[in-house]
């Protein structure tokens, strides 16, 4: 796969090596979106947050042993989904103060998450959204952004590859980041 997505092998390799820039990008692109997924199935917002924190922590801690080969997006979605399922399963067996309706609703969420055909829809949309976020950039800008932030190349290396000056690369990066700030709120805190 061409390394234009966080799904690219180059990006996954950087994560496995513990590259903090790659991890930052992952957080910015995925945190809010995965939280949206977990909050859609769990009634308690704090539980939904805890689950996503665990997902990221797992990636950071396991690093090199991560069982991701080609599809980071599918991996993130699967881990999130399974964590939600585990959580709802645990709740199912608790004789709790929850009213009957809430217990029945939990059971429905559980079956919904276990329906692979349906959850595939969300997984695919998630990949598309991430792709879209990156593709909003102007062409040259995007190329520089991908080489720098997805592939993790140094400005000097990009300069050699694209045959443009490092000054031009800096300009493109500034533009890319400004664009990100305008169009992708997730990037605000990063740069």
Partner 1 sequence: MTKELLLKFIENKAAPHEKEEVISWIEKSPENQKKYNFLKAQYVADNLKNVKEEQYQSVVKAIQSRRKRKLATSYSIAACVTMLLGFSLFYITKNKSFTQLPHISKSYLSEETVEILTKKDSLQEIKLPDGSTVSLNGNSQIIYPKTFSGNVRMVTLKGEAYFDIVHNKKKPFIVQTKAFDIKVLGTTFNVKSYPEDKLSETTLLSGKVELSREEETTIVLEPSQKAIFNRDNEKIEIEKVNTESTLAWKSGKLIFNRTPLEQVVIDLERKYNTEIEIVSPELLNYEYTGTFDNLTLDEALKLLRISSQIQYETINQKIMLTMK
In the complex, the residues that contact partner 1 under the rule CB under 8 A are 27, 31-33, 35-37, 40, 44-47, 49-50, 52-53, 56-57, 60-61, 96-98, 101, 104-105, 108, 111-112, 115, 117-119, 121-122, 124-126, 129, 185-186, 188-189
Report the Cα 81 to chain-centroid distance in Å. 13
**144 Cβ neighbours under 8 A, 6+ residues apart:** 158, 162, 169, 172, 173, 176
How many CB atoms within 10 Å of residue 83?
21
Q: Based on CB atoms, which residue is closest to partner 1, 56 or 155? A: 56
Q: Based on CB atoms, which residue is closest to partner 1, 129 or 161? A: 129
**27 Cβ neighbours under 8 A, 6+ residues apart:** 56
How many CB atoms within 10 Å of residue 77?
24
CB of 144 to partner 1, least distance (A): 24
Q: Based on CB atoms, which residue is closest to partner 1, 135 or 165? A: 135
CB of 72 to partner 1, least distance (A): 16
Report the Cα 56 to chain-centroid distance in Å. 9
CB of 177 to partner 1, least distance (A): 16
Torsion sign over Cα 85, 27, 31, 75: negative
Token output for 46: 């704090």
Q: Based on CB atoms, which residue is closest to partner 1, 109 or 147? A: 109
CB of 126 to partner 1, least distance (A): 6
| CA atoms of 191 and 181, how far apart (whole Å) | 9
CB of 52 to partner 1, least distance (A): 8
Q: Based on CB atoms, which residue is closest to partner 1, 130 or 169? A: 130
């Amino acid at each position: 796969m061409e390394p234009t997505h966080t799904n690219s092998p180059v990006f996954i390799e950087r994560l496995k090596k513990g590259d903090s820039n790659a991890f930052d990008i992952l957080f910015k692109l995925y945190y809010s979106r995965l939280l949206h997924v977990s909050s859609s199935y769990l009634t308690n917002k704090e539980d939904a947050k805890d689950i996503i924190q665990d997902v990221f922590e797992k990636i950071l801690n396991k690093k090199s042993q991560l069982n991701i080969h080609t599809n980071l997006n599918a991996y993130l979605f699967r881990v999130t989904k399974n964590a939600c399922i585990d959580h709802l399963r645990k709740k199912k067996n608790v004789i709790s103060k929850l009213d009957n309706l809430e217990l029945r609703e939990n059971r429905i969420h559980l079956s919904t998450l276990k329906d692979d055909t349906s959850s595939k829809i969300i997984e695919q949309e998630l990949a598309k959204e991430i792709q879209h976020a990156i593709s909003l950039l102007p062409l040259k800008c995007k190329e520089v952004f991908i080489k720098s932030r997805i592939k993790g190349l140094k400005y000097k290396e990009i300069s050699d590859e694209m045959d443009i000056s490092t000054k031009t690369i800096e300009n493109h990066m500034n533009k890319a980041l400004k664009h990100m700030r305008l169009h992708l709120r997730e990037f605000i805190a990063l740069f």
